A and B are shown apart, each in its own frame.
Chain A
Amino acid sequence: MAWAASLPSPRRTLALAIGLGLFVSLLSTATSTRLERADFTYVNGSEPSSLDPALVTGVPEGRLCKSLFEGLVVKHPQSLEPLPGAAERWELSQDGLRYTFFLRPDGRWNGTNPNAPGVGEAVTAQDFRSSWKRLLHPTTASPYAFLLECVRGAATYARMAGGTYYSRSDWGLWLREQADNSLRAGITGLALEAFEDDPSSLGQIQFVAGEGDELRVGDELLRIGELSFRTPVAARVRAINRQPGLLQNVRTDPYYAGWCVELESAREAQAETLETRLADALGNGDLFRAEDFREKVLWPRVGLHAPSPLTLEVNLIRPLPYFLDLVSFYPLFPTNAQARAAAQERWPRDWEQEWLRSERFVGNGPFLLGQRRINDRIRLVKNDDYWDAGHVAFRTLDVLSLDHLGTALNLYLTGEVDWIDRVPPTQAFKLEGREDYGPEPQLGSYFYRFNVTRPPFDDPQLRRALALCVDRRALCEAVLKGGQVPAFSIVPPGFAGYGGAEMEHAPRASLDTDNRPDWERAHRADIERARDILKQAGYGPGAKPLPVVELLYNTSEEHRDVAEVIADGWKRELGMNVKLLNQEFKVYLDTQRSLDYDVSRAAWFGDYADPNTFLELFTSDCVQNRTGWSNAEYDALIARAARTLDPERRLEILREAESILLRELPVLPIYYYVTHNVVNPRLGGFFENIKDEHFPKFWYWKSDAELQSERAQYPATKQLVKARGPQAGLRGPLGIGF
């Protein structure tokens, strides 16, 4: 710069040095990070919170896990039927309670670094046991641990909390030191497992010892059916607590005080402190510390066994029609125990950060972890040691982290990426008719929650009137504009064999919103009905004025638009004033959880292919309920469905439950989600499906000839787009794998 010339020389040097330093750092950053373009690049949404299948929730993370690891079963990319994965084949016992998985002998762990611990080992049943054990263990704090609670003994294993906790080995008695040095004893969930399907067993619990009785080691303390529970420490029974309560409470709270006895040291043993007695009992194996108890007593009882290295046996507490769906879900993917152990030894504190670095990463999936830069991209490299590598086409995949939908779309339109899974709502309709875009129904529901614990929405009539007065067609067509489907129920259509219930509303000729006059007529009828309901409920001129309500939603364009339109409808048609309240996501969650709202936006996506994944949300004690709504009949139906073996009967019970939900309407159904994939037409092996799940192992590039023949079958209105990628196509050596 010119002015520098006028400066005395040391100063000039300093200024120049600073400038030069900046410039060099700039150049080096900008050039050191270049990567060759991958065979396939896609936008994966927000930055994955982790790659550890046991820790993550969310679609972006799930997609990556599916590339890096492989569960017992994989799914067909189109039909989602189970296909062999890490397991070659599987068997189900007659009673539907025991699955036996036969693992393939050629399953191998592999990583980009051949010297990483665990590389080259076979994938064994033991790997699954240890990974599932980790999933269940409370220090892992996995949000999806509950999925495995369908396995016998797993719930007890998982829910046994730590702390000062002692327990008698096979008698299922817990003991806990109280602050005043006395003891409290109760029964563990373990002992109750046998009874849990039968609430009448509650009556069978009897206290054998009475208050004031002195007990010696081995004396019976209480009895459930055939089991008797003995005291591990000589003591006197101070108090017996037998509050009526559900067995469920014992399961969820190992220290549940409703069924327990309080003990104090026996009079004869006053010289000895309780402590030394406990120490004795610990020494001779009468007692275990909680962690030991979990490992030594509970773990062997969990219904996961490996009779041979390649055979995994899973015992369920009840037949689970969707169990194969569960094992293909990423939380149940295996991870390599040796890789974990090695990292744990080297970085006792930070091993969870370290063991998933690309130089140490070990997986059994079709791809391996390459370079990774936070908020930018993850490079995946084909795993040549994968058992089905012959069917994997792409050598490299780039997975981009981007939250801004407009940016993602721009990248797609300029050909920088080949697939985006969402489009900006205002622009989706412009893509209609293009060959690279075709929304399909998805297992997701968008709805509003009512807070039924306080006025005005403790009144079901008001909830019903508001639910009727939502112009779902206009919303889907003119606001969302992305092919979303108007919803009159919470469970989206698409569950095989489930004929869902609907809330009361004027019939439409078809679900197809194209028939505009029909929908408008029906909507007018619904509005009239809503006004009638309000009049009957005593609202209106001369009677109760309609309350002003607050509509809560989390900060986002789309939610804002939906809320504005719905609020506008309520105001115009019913004369109800609505205040929109937009809260930042975390605050919104907190508000919702503490039931400090009137109406609140909500959405849910099914975890597995069963209506239960939606319906169990609204049981009284489910944390996802968040409406304050509680209905004993509904709870009982959901519980009964879980115990019902006959699949048809089961779905019938669930339907009955949903009809209760839609009669009471603690939630207001709005629309069902649809997929919004925009994908390079050259990509093969990619299908729209109800779970919006996609499987990189099946992907390949179509050749021009294949593309031509496919395009020949398109309807004439379809708009062709440029198909980037190799004209000759790209497939795995063995062709297509499904």
Chain B
Amino acid sequence: MGMDPRELESLLQAAKEQRGQNPWREAWQRLRTNAAARVSLYMLIAIGAISLLAPLWPLPSPIALNLSPEPIAPVAPWTEFGSDAWQRDAIWELGPMDRALVSLRAKLFGNWQSAPWLGTDTKGRDLLARIVWGSRTSIQAALAAAFCSLAIGVLYGALAGLIGGRVDNLMMRLVDALYSVPFIFLVIFLVTILGEYRVELDRRFGIDREVVFYLVIGFVYWLTMARVVRGQVLSLRNMEFVSAARAQGASTLHILRRHILPGTLSVVIVYLTLTVPAVMLFEAFLSFLGLGVEPPKVSWGLLAVDCTEALSPLVNYWWLACFPAGAMATTLLALNVLGDGLRDALDPRLRGSRP
């Protein structure tokens, strides 16, 4: 590399200045000044906490049936606050942490449970409880799928980008080809296969069907991630300050850690906030086709499907449509806004261009 040493010196200086302090801290500050993103972040944390601690809340069981011909419309808390009707074991098998939470709930609230503040569904199950418990399944699934896509996608994309040349070309063509595989087949196929091995999987690895199922979705969603990461790696690799650092004799590891990884990470985080909503929507789509979560477990997708039956000229169970859709939209909205905010905060090109 025939580069004038003086030019190099000034370039490195500029890079150092631009980097200034820790880029992450800078980004975090940028994010904090973005009100919408900040609110979204807090909201997501709240939603996450509510959903994680679902067994703790004094809600009725999400699956206890209370059969009556028509669902109950929302009851305002000041009309009927709650009752001592909670039954502890009216739930599917829970993990150890959840069992502890249930015990804690029993200590804190006794057998008190809230009235159907958001109404009940057509089988008399408390809607609020279903939304809270459903958020668990949906969020867990979305996170699992997103991280699975992250792992595969980043590895694949970074590899392609770093190696470059023919290998890169081939790897990307493979991604292109996979893009054209309609993966509804893949999902049906895997659901079937998993159905056959469900007992074994459960016993030997302690994973139930859903977890595997959403890992599968993640496995399908890695394609875009791989593309994005590769693009970023490629553009970073050819950046002048990387060449400069290399010319100065920095090790590959150093370049990777110091220059390429931070640059890529921003893209990855942004993309992750976009994958999570996509997976949640996909879960709803699968539920619509009847391939989603198995009852009695509940997910937002299942609730969304119920909502299509709740509104018609004959019946008007608006609460069954509005609340689950609202919960879902709020979460996805928060994720999207946060994603935007993160991109604005992390994108080096936009640095300094914003107040």
Contacts and interface: CB of A to CB of B under 8 A. Distances in A.
**A contacts B directly (C-beta below 8 A):** yes
B122 interface: yes
A486 B205 CA distance: 42
Given A409-B312, A427-B312, A477-B69, A581 B191 contact: no
Interface string B143-170: 0000000000000000000000000000
Given A474-B67, A568-B65, A582 B312 contact: no
B291 A555 contact: yes
Contacts of B63: 564, 568
B247 interface: no
Contacts of B188: 584
B53 to A, nearest CB: 25
A202 interface: no
A24 B23 CA distance: 53
A424 B309 contact: yes
Contacts of A556: 290
A650 to B, nearest CB: 41
A592 B206 CA distance: 26
Nearest to A586: B192
B69 A582 contact: no
A705 interface: no
A479 interface: yes
A620 B192 CA distance: 29
A413 B313 contact: yes
A279 interface: no
Interface residues of A, number: 33
Contact of A430 (B191, B291, B295, B314): B314
Contact of B296 (A478, A481, A564): A564
A474 B66 CA distance: 10
Contacts, number: 73
Contacts of B290: 555-556, 582, 584
A477 B69 CA distance: 7
Contacts of A584: 188, 191-192, 290-291
A410 B312 contact: yes
A565 B295 CA distance: 11
A596 to B, nearest CB: 9
Given A426-B122, A555-B290, A584-B291, A565 B65 contact: yes
A426 B63 CA distance: 18
Contact of B315 (A427, A568, A583): A427
Contacts of A477: 67, 69
B5 interface: no
Given A555-B291, A580-B294, A478 B312 contact: no
A366 B243 CA distance: 83
Contact of B295 (A409, A431, A479, A560): A560
Contacts of A695: none
B286 to A, nearest CB: 11
Contacts of A581: 195, 198, 294
Enumerate the 10 nearest inter-chain pairs by beta-carbon distance, A residue then B residue, closest first: A478-B67, A555-B290, A430-B314, A426-B309, A427-B314, A474-B67, A413-B313, A568-B65, A587-B192, A582-B294
Main secondary structure of the interface of B (DSSP, over half): loop
Interface in B49-95: 63-65, 67-69, 93
Contact of B309 (A427, A478, A565, A583): A427
Contacts of A430: 314-315
A430 B316 CA distance: 11
Given A479-B123, A564-B295, A406 B315 contact: no
Interface in B197-231: 198
A477 B65 CA distance: 14
Interface in B207-266: none
B308 interface: yes
Interface string A547-585: 000000001110011011101100000000100111110
A424 B313 CA distance: 13
Contacts of B195: 581, 583, 587, 591
Given A424-B309, A564-B123, 10 more contacts: A406-B308, A474-B67, A478-B68, A481-B69, A564-B295, A565-B67, A568-B64, A582-B290, A582-B295, A584-B290
Interface in A287-340: none
B299 to A, nearest CB: 13
Nearest to B191: A584
Interface string B29-63: 00000000000000000000000000000000001
A402 B188 CA distance: 23
B234 to A, nearest CB: 28
Contacts of B310: 426
Interface string B290-305: 1100111000000000
A563 B310 CA distance: 21
A547 to B, nearest CB: 13
Interface in A412-438: 413, 424, 426-427, 429-431
A410 B291 CA distance: 25
Nearest to A596: B196
29 contacts: A406-B308, A406-B309, A406-B312, A409-B314, A410-B312, A410-B313, A413-B314, A424-B309, A427-B312, A427-B315, A429-B69, A477-B67, A478-B67, A478-B124, A479-B123, A555-B291, A560-B295, A561-B123, A564-B123, A564-B296, A565-B65, A568-B64, A577-B93, A580-B296, A582-B295, A583-B192, A583-B195, A584-B188, A591-B195
